[in-house]
């Protein structure tokens, strides 16, 4: 699961805080066709969302890269925006004191 992966990564790198960068190339082009290097058999948006939810409470920063607007009908940008919103909500929820 994404939570198990997040726990393993934090244990392996020896920190519970890090910067998270989402390269949209990791998504299958069926969901994000306008990237720098679209590759088949990528992740689906639900897998990426679960990873964001698992890592977001431990992040000090976040970015999204590899959206190619010149090739986008709006689908990739919209998905990137939705994933950014998921990060903001998960980060805020995980940092409520």
Model confidence, pTM: 0.89
- Total domains in the chain come to 1
- Give burial (CB, 10 Å; 0-12/13-18/19+) of 96: exposed
In tens digits, what is the pLDDT along the chain, a chain of 97 residues? 888 998 898 899 888 788 999 999 999 999 999 999 998 999 999 999 999 999 999 999 999 999 999 999 999 999 999 999 999 999 999 865 4
Q: Where are the alpha helices (DSSP H) in the chain?
A: 2-13, 45-55, 75-94
Q: What CA–CA distance (Å, rounded) separates 57 from 91?
A: 5
For 16, the domain range is 2-94
């Amino acid at each position: 699961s994404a939570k198990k992966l997040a726990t393993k990564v934090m244990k392996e790198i020896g920190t519970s805080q890090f910067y998270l960068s989402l390269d949209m190339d990791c998504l299958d082009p069926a969901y994000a066709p306008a990237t720098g290097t679209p590759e088949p058999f990528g992740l689906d948006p639900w897998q990426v969302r679960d990873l964001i939810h698992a890592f977001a409470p431990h992040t000090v920063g976040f970015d999204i890269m590899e959206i190619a607007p010149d090739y986008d009908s709006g689908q990739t940008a919209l998905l990137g925006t939705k994933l950014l919103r998921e990060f903001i909500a998960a980060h805020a929820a995980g940092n409520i004191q």
